[in-house]
Chains A and B, each alone.
Chain A
Amino acid sequence: MKIELHDSHIRQIKEICDSFDNNPGELINVLHKTQNVFGYLPEEIQRVIARNLGIPVTRVYGVVSFYSFFTMKPKGKYAVSLCMGTACYVRGAEDVLDELKKELGIEVGGVTEDGKFSLDCLRCVGACGLAPVLMIGEKVYGRLTPSMVKGVLAEYE
């Protein structure tokens, strides 16, 4: 999937790179900021970043594909993230995950056809007291059971 960047986008990326003095050492901070603005980091954006920082695009892609926080695909309107930390795991997160996959009809890392939901797993959000924990956007749902999944998702219908 090719996307076209407008001049204003390219300017925006350039501003972000400039704000870090175009220092390649700040690549990860640049990527964070850019992903905050655009929601994801498609090929075209990575090329602009590489050019601004004066490094091979292979290095940018090497970093983007290394860290799980960076994504090259747009997320759903509502990003559903299930915690798969140990505490959540031993309290049944796997069953909740199965139910989520079934309800949304997508695998982990996928986006529903209407672009509404995306599903990801997280490694410990640190709310182990509420295990198993699910996040939709910024909102945290705790002490989940598979039977609660439908109701939680319904809030976003």
Chain B
Amino acid sequence: MVQIKMHLLVCGGTGCRASESAVLVEQLNHQLKLNGLADEVKVITTGCFGFCEKGPIVKVIPDNTFYTNVTPEDAEEIVKEHVLKGRKVNRLLYEDPETQEHVSDSKHMEFYQKQVRIALRNCGFIDPENIDEYIVRDGYAALGQVLASDPKETIDIIKKSGLRGRGGAGFPTGLKWEIAAGNKADQKYVVCNADEGDPGAFMDRSILEGDPNSIIEAMAICGYCIGATKGLIYIRAEYPLAIHRLEIAIKQAREYGLLGKDILGSGFDFDIELRLGAGAFVCGEETALIHSMEGFRGEPTIKPPFPAQSGYLGKPTNVNNVETFANVPPIILKGWEWFNSIGSEKSKGTKVFALAGKINNVGLIEVPMGTTLRDVIFEIGGGIKDGKRFKAVQTGGPSGGCLTEQHLDTPIDFEHLAAAGSMMGSGGMIVMDEDDCMVSVAKFYLDFIVEESCGKCAPCRIGSKRMHEILEKICQGKGTMEDLDYLENLGKVIKDTALCGLGQTAPNPVLSTLLYFRDEYVAHVIDKKCPAGQCKALKSYTIDPEKCIGCTLCARTCPTNAIIGDKKVPHVIDQSKCIKCGACYDKCKFGAIQIR
């Protein structure tokens, strides 16, 4: 048998696949074959490496060489140079934006140095479609350990570890399990909430794509602890790759006797089914999720009764989010003390964030709770794109809020984010720069809420619509100061009265921007100006007569004939006709068009 000398790990996450990573894998295999290396070097399609900004990624093991932006055409060079001759392909190495030097391996990249990977421990390291690779990295060892002990002990370990729900609200996981375990019923259910719907968040998707077995193992552990023999994964239909990989993992787990009857000879039965979502953000709320799984409209119902008492089909049901489950096996294997030692006072362990927006290193990161926003944005995230100024960071998606420069040293955990007027949420983190108008951002989130509100309760159904209308009015330059007061009162009432978590947090993006960026709202209302220059209705296009040479190009481009002027004479824009489309601005070769 030939010994495998080298592994080429190629990212097969959704982002990198979109950049033809699948073709890259083909090409690499082809080149290896051409060079007679097919037996010695193995190409593995892994889950997400997290460094999506520079995808597709190829990592070479054992030397940890980290190639970025690799195209299928680069396959030949990688094989001929690196694999065959041991010479790194310098042009594909990650370039440190500050020193502008090539970094030879991932261990020396700032992006990874500050991260602690628990939930993402296997993402980017193993082939998610091969259960053996999971098992080699201690997979299913935790399940084996748990099945040999009293369920109460495991619940106790989870409780002591301090693990809290990663879906948003941060409810203590061990306590949740204990309640479900305490309710007697002929049938109970374990549900994995994989209905990740925050716009701009892809933590759960990446875990499911990169390490599906960790979720299956954790669900089985949970099932054993609470006395459930059935598990259900509610997953977005928009995640075909994650669904595909879960299906493979479930099949393989069954073949290995890790799901099904009498798991590992313990007498414990457990199996898992997939349930597809169908495009409704509100189904992330656990009661709505349960109704959706039962084939109904995904409308939330009042709690109590909690799912732990009466959930799926009226039976006690424990619902945890993907990332929460992903933390469970390591806690069992390494002990609660280990997990409890990571993180801040009340928020233990790590948190995965989907870092996106106006930031250099868009990607998936995992940091200990308590890491500051500054570290995440400027160290791991590599700072703001194109040298612009940082303005705000939005956490918690449509339920969260916008934080400012003054919050950059806030430690990221449940308590501190909530105290600052935002929330942890499921882990979306969107960075904004000076070009982003905060009123527009608030409007964007409200637009999302209006679209996604289930419509059941009046405050959310009508209130979010009204808030959106007022924001629209402000962006049009038609707002009044009374509107701001009404917006604030309305926001508070919706928070206090809406039926479910979606509605209760819906006003957060508005309330937090009103609090921290009130001057920007006032500028829209009083000065009729959008300081970030984003609100179209408040923009005005004028022509600098000094720069205009009267080439008439702009006048010919203008769709509404708003630009007047004779040849070789500076032109003028008729403001009453201008629709602010920006066509003239794009066309002018002399920089004569000004936007204010």
Contacts and interface: CB of A to CB of B under 8 A. Distances in A.
Contact of A28 (B15, B276, B354): B276
Contact of B363 (A32, A68, A129): A129
A90 interface: yes
A65 B500 CA distance: 21
Contacts of B19: 130, 142
Interface string A87-104: 111110000000000000
Given A126-B205, A129-B362, A66 B18 contact: no
Interface string A70-88: 1000000000000011111
Given A25-B295, A66-B298, A86-B428, A129 B52 contact: yes
Contacts of B55: 129-130
A129 B292 contact: no
Interface residues of A, number: 39
Contact of A128 (B15, B277, B297): B15
B297 A142 contact: no
Given A67-B280, A128-B200, 5 more contacts: A86-B198, A123-B279, A124-B202, A126-B15, A129-B15
A18 interface: no
Contacts of B275: 28-29
A127 B429 CA distance: 14
A27 B291 CA distance: 11
Interface string B274-293: 01111111000000000011
B8 to A, nearest CB: 21
A23 B296 CA distance: 12
A68 B280 contact: yes
B294 interface: yes
Contacts of B212: none
Interface string B465-476: 000000000000
B52 A66 contact: no
A62 B297 contact: yes
A140 interface: yes
B432 interface: yes
A131 B46 CA distance: 22
B295 A27 contact: yes
6 contacts: A63-B297, A87-B200, A89-B200, A90-B357, A129-B55, A130-B19
Given A87-B362, A90-B430, A70 B15 contact: no
B515 interface: no
Contacts of B84: none
A149 interface: no
A25 B213 CA distance: 27
A68 B197 CA distance: 13
Contact of A87 (B18, B205, B356): B356
A124 B199 contact: yes
B354 A128 contact: yes
Interface in B28-84: 52-55
Contacts of A66: 280, 297-298, 454
A156 interface: no
A113 interface: no
Given A28-B276, A32-B278, A131-B362, A90 B436 contact: yes
A106 interface: no
B278 A91 contact: no
B201 A140 contact: no
Interface string B1-40: 0000000000000110111000000000000000000000
Contacts of A23: 295
Interface in B432-470: 432, 436, 441, 444-445, 448, 454
Nearest to B296: A63
Nearest to A62: B297
B237 interface: yes
Contacts of B444: 86, 89
Nearest to B445: A86
A151 to B, nearest CB: 16
A45 interface: no
Interface in B294-353: 294-298, 313
What 6 A-B pairs are tightest by C-beta distance, nearest first?
A: A129-B52, A140-B18, A126-B202, A87-B356, A86-B200, A67-B278
B397 interface: yes
Given A62-B297, A128-B15, A31 B278 contact: yes
A63 B279 CA distance: 11
Nearest to B274: A29
B83 to A, nearest CB: 26
Contacts of A123: 197, 199, 238, 279, 281, 448
B238 A122 contact: yes
A105 to B, nearest CB: 15
A40 to B, nearest CB: 14
A124 B280 contact: no
Contact of A32 (B276, B394, B430): B276
A69 B200 CA distance: 18
B239 interface: yes
B358 interface: yes
A69 B15 contact: no
B278 A86 contact: no
A129 B297 contact: no
Contacts of B441: 90
Residue in A24, A67, A68 with the greatest tally of chain B CB atoms within 10 Å: A67
A127 B18 contact: yes
A5 to B, nearest CB: 22
A133 interface: yes
Contacts of B52: 127-130
B362 A67 contact: no
Given A69-B278, A126-B15, A129-B15, A86 B295 contact: no
A51 B49 CA distance: 48
